[in-house]
Structure 1
Amino acid sequence: MPEASAGSVRVGKHDVMHDVVIVGGGPVGLLLACLLAQRGRDVAVLERRTERSGRSRAIGIHPPGLRALGRVGLEAEVRASGVEIREGRVTCRGRVLGSMSFVRAGSVWSLPQLETEAMLERRLAELASEALMHGVEVQGLRDLGTHVEVSGDHGGETVTLLARYVVGADGVRSGIRELAGLGWAAKPGRAHYVMGDTRDDTGEPSTALLHFEPAGVVESFPLPGGRRRWVAWVRRPLPEVGPMQLATIVAARVDGRFDPEAAGEPSVFEARQHLAERMHRGRVALAGDAAHEISPIGGQGMNLGWLDALLLDREIEHAIETGAPYEAFERYERTRRASAARAIRQAAFNMRMGAPAAGARLRVRNAAVRALAIPPFRAVLARAFTMRWL
């Protein structure tokens, strides 16, 4: 691995040997920090941002993700703040192709990621008040065998932290992944979408609506506060997008229920898929989007990262107790790579189903959706949608 920057100095308490340094203070890094702090472990979280982005991102908390948040005492708060999505329905040209209830498989809870991160940050402050450091840009990483040295810039000053283990939870553009020399392999599944939130005028406050239209999928999901998120497939990135542009796209494909007057600024994104060629090296491991980039269509990425955190928490504790770090991380890698590969395949399937279709292809796709929406396939599909198999 590259060595830490020359001339780095230890300041304040940074000469302390932490049990774990987590790079990235998003939902995955914060959950892992809470889990470790609950065990009484000395954990430090380094977050590059000085304040959280208000940009619209993940909203879906699936049953495994809700259980993970419950491990740090947040399940009741999620239920109180979020909206329960109890069912889903797929249509095309106004005709229902299939519907399913999530009650038996477990409902999905809708809560903006910004609020989820705020909950986790408050919980971490309760467990370890000085664990989270904002404004730290990690620039160097050195695995010394017995421990890892992490160096970075904090407001123009170089800081160095020592830790028994380091976890990179710093997103798809992970600097830790690059510093650790871990490859990043592209996987099938790529598409462009435009997304925005507005008032919910559908009359379906607990239903996920998927419109598999010939011109491309339009999806919508309930949000807290009587609002709704809309996501629409587009052929290429739009040079300029505002509420009116998104409303026009929605109205051209489905009944016009996107109110531009009540909407925030939409965003355009490209869904891509990658998997790290390895999820650990020595005493450094990757988690969440740093380890696997999953299409957000279906809402799997954040929840998949939380399951990474649950297993890492157990394996790191085992490693500290037994002094056998490499075996622990190898078990983590085998388990979580397999789950990530399944999620990538499911997301690629979702994107293919939501792509434009006409003629025979449209008829075949709609027939497949109808088949999947009847027993016994309906129960399997509900289980996959709610991520019970990951």
Structure 2
Amino acid sequence: MDHDVVVVGGGPVGLMTACELALAGVRVAVVERRTDVDPTIKAIGLHIPSVEAFQRRGLLPALLEAQGRQARELLAALPRRADLARVPVSSDIAGHFAGITVPRSLVDYGDPDFGAAWSRDMMPVSQQALEAILAGRAAELGAELRQGAEMVKFADDGDGVDVELDSGERWRCGWLVGADGGRSAVRRGAGFDFPGTDPEITGHQAVVEFADPEVLTPGWNRTENGIYVYTPLPGRILTVEMDGPPPDRHAPVTHEELQDSVRRVSKTGVTITSVRSATRFTDHARQASTYVRGRVVLAGDAAHVHSPFGGQGLNLGLGDALNLGWKLAATVHGWAPAGLLDSYTRERHPVGAWVLDWTRAQIALMRLDPLTESLRRIVGDLVATPGGATYMAKKLSGVLQKYDLPGDHPLVGCSVPDPGGRIAEALRTGRAVLTGPDHLAGAGASRAGRLTHVESDAPMLVRPDGYVAWAGTAPGDTAGLEEALRRWLGGS
């Protein structure tokens, strides 16, 4: 084998997967056709599970530095934006659902589901900053990053995968991971099915300069022609038209096309003077029935596509990478217990299915007919209650994410509560963590290379991805521990 694993796609999901594999000692290469970070406007927020994942890998300081840098750049632009004074500033927004805002003041942040979370809010960090952080970390861990290269074909013969690059170079690897986006060549080449629903909207998102920005109303706006969202700083505009998908989804977005869309939807004569970044999207929603086929694995948009509303896509893909990385590494190293890699689909597919439903529901609530307007008023009334606002905030933040794992303890399947950060510190190695009194350290001694012990009064087995696989009811309780160790970490 030239490589244990080849990852196709060098975006955040592919890079996070490579980081996880390299951390576990796997020889991994990433193939990315771009030679630099894609500047196109994309997701700008990490949900709570994603932030916790970065914390558990020691990357939280880099995130905070990137967040601070973005804030400084925005502040530096303030004197140049006279229209900023028109922006309704409010700290009472915890998010939105189809443009219906969730009042922060009504959210019960004392709810137990928020109790163990690192933060209550998403962290605004651009996808470009994430790529830079993850690329640096992957290289530091020894992953090979092959930029400016494209996979042209591959063949899975059951014992490994032969990969050919556009340069003519050929590699032999044990596993191939497709993290190459919604039009994934890996998914198509391996024959994964991709059922779902066809699109009914055309959306545009861009960062632009306007000659006459005062004619636009900041925030979410509905007109008889569609929806537009305008953020004067930094000139971010989004339009949604309910007239079906574009004739060519993947053609470059032109200045004329973007200006026509903004004028139609806003019903103004606004003029765009320059376009810094622009993209086109639809509500095309599809999901692979399985994420593993032979020696080929899918992650991120290669496994599931949907509209961008709610910023779920990036976070969903990062969750895939965290769940997959340690399981594929265990498989490569030969100690994975039976069914471990299969649990990747079993655990992540329901999360992806929920995201597709969440985004489809938002599109349904964005329709412009009188029946939908009536429904929006009712949903708006529900969201404006403490129970409704709390439910929405929990869903938006990701704190309700839980895996259906064997065991009766309420913590099993949940992200591990870690008030002091000691477990996160131990998880930086990429190994599982066993917490509890000193005598429990002996229970995992035979799996020393896969497990770290942290002294605590609360006995728990925490998987490398930070999710609780087993928990005892008392400090000395070990009932079911050995079974859990075998299920997740294999035999001694």
TM bucket (normalised to shorter chain) is 0.7 to 0.9
Match of 2:379 in 1: 368
- From 45, 53, 57, the equivalent of 2:42 is 57
Q: Is the 8 A contact 2:3 2:174 kept in 1?
A: yes
Match of 2:331 in 1: 319
Match of 1:229 in 2: 236
Structure with bigger strand share is: 1
Distance 1:349 1:57 in 2: 21
1:134 and 2:147 matched = yes
Match of 1:20 in 2: 5
Match of 2:93 in 1: 87
Deviation (angstroms), 1:318? 2.5
Stretches of structure 1 lacking an aligned partner (at least 5 in a row): 1-15, 203-207
Deviation (angstroms), 1:313? 1.1
Deviation (angstroms), 1:251? 4.6
CA, structure 1 residues 245+322, in 2 after alignment: closer, same or farther (shift >3 Å)?
Answer: same
The higher-RCO structure (CA 8 Å, 6+ apart) is 1
Taking the TM superposition and a 5 Å limit, the aligned residue runs for 1:170-249 are 170-187=180-197, 190-197=200-207, 209-211=219-221, 215-219=225-229, 226-227=233-234, 229-236=236-243, 237=246, 241=255, 244-245=259-260, 248=263
Q: Is the 8 A contact 2:4 2:28 kept in 1?
A: yes
Match of 2:395 in 1: 384
- From 263, 267, 270, the equivalent of 2:279 is 267
The letter of the residue matching 1:100 is: R
Deviation (angstroms), 1:353? 1.3
Distance 1:148 1:337 in 2: 24
Deviation (angstroms), 1:346? 0.5
Stretches of structure 2 lacking an aligned partner (at least 5 in a row): 72-90, 115-119, 248-252, 402-492
Deviation (angstroms), 1:287? 0.3
Match of 1:344 in 2: 356
Distance 1:99 1:77 in 2: 30
Percent identical residues = 29
The TM-score, its normalising length taken from structure 2, stands at: 0.64
Match of 1:4 in 2: none
Q: Is the 8 A contact 1:149 1:160 kept in 2?
A: yes
Once superposed, what is the RMSD of the aligned Cα atoms? 3.5
Q: Is the 8 A contact 2:43 2:127 kept in 1?
A: yes
CA, structure 1 residues 92+366, in 2 after alignment: closer, same or farther (shift >3 Å)?
Answer: farther
Deviations 1:268-288 (A, max 9, x none): 322311111321112211000
Q: Is the 8 A contact 1:190 1:273 kept in 2?
A: no
Q: Is the 8 A contact 2:40 2:278 kept in 1?
A: no
Deviation (angstroms), 1:174? 0.8
Distance 1:269 1:68 in 2: 28
Match of 1:43 in 2: 28
Paired residue secondary structure (2:339): helix
Deviation (angstroms), 1:209? 5.0
- From 135, 138, 156, the equivalent of 1:121 is 135
Q: Is the 8 A contact 1:197 1:263 kept in 2?
A: yes
Paired residue secondary structure (1:164): strand
CA, structure 1 residues 37+248, in 2 after alignment: closer, same or farther (shift >3 Å)?
Answer: same
Paired residue secondary structure (1:327): coil
CA, structure 1 residues 75+46, in 2 after alignment: closer, same or farther (shift >3 Å)?
Answer: same
* Segment drifting more, 43-52 vs 302-311: 43-52
The TM-score, its normalising length taken from structure 1, stands at: 0.79
Deviation (angstroms), 1:350? 1.1
The letter of the residue matching 1:282 is: G
Deviations 1:200-258 (A, max 9, x none): 9x9xxxxx954466654434579xxx5253322113449965575465457549xx9x9
Q: Is the 8 A contact 2:93 2:103 kept in 1?
A: yes
Distance 2:333 2:146 in 1: 27
Deviation (angstroms), 1:97? 6.8
Paired residue secondary structure (2:35): coil
